[in-house]
Amino acid sequence: MIRTQIQLTEEQAQALRDLAARRGVSLAELVRQGVERILAESERREKRQRALAVLGRFDAGPSDVATNHDRYLAEDYL
């Protein structure tokens, strides 16, 4: 692990110490959990943005394939 230093307000530090005590974990572990949550959320947002960016970029073809699949197959293979 890499040691790092952060600055918190008195209120933030006390609230984190209290929460860590209630959960039975160290303050450092609580901070690591928070960092993991932020990173996971950021990754989900980036994936969602990439998915939304491709919407409408591709032609899906005819919209009646479910209904007329036999006709389309016959046209292509016969």
Which tens digit of pLDDT belongs to each residue from 6-50? 999 999 999 999 999 999 999 999 999 999 999 999 999 999 999
- 64 assigned to some structural domain: no
How many domains does the structure of the chain reveal?
Answer: 1
- 36 assigned to some structural domain: yes
- 51 assigned to some structural domain: yes
| Alpha-carbon separation of residue 75 from 36, 45, 58, 78 (angstroms) | 54, 43, 23, 6
- 24 assigned to some structural domain: yes
What is the greatest pairwise CA distance in the chain? Answer: 78
| Alpha-carbon separation of residue 74 from 27, 42, 53, 77, 78 (angstroms) | 68, 48, 35, 5, 5
What is the model's pLDDT at position 57? 82
Structural tokens at position 20: 């860590």
What is the model's pLDDT at position 10? 98
Residue-range definition of the domain harbouring residue 26 = 11-55
Tell me the whole-structure pTM to 2 decimals.
0.64
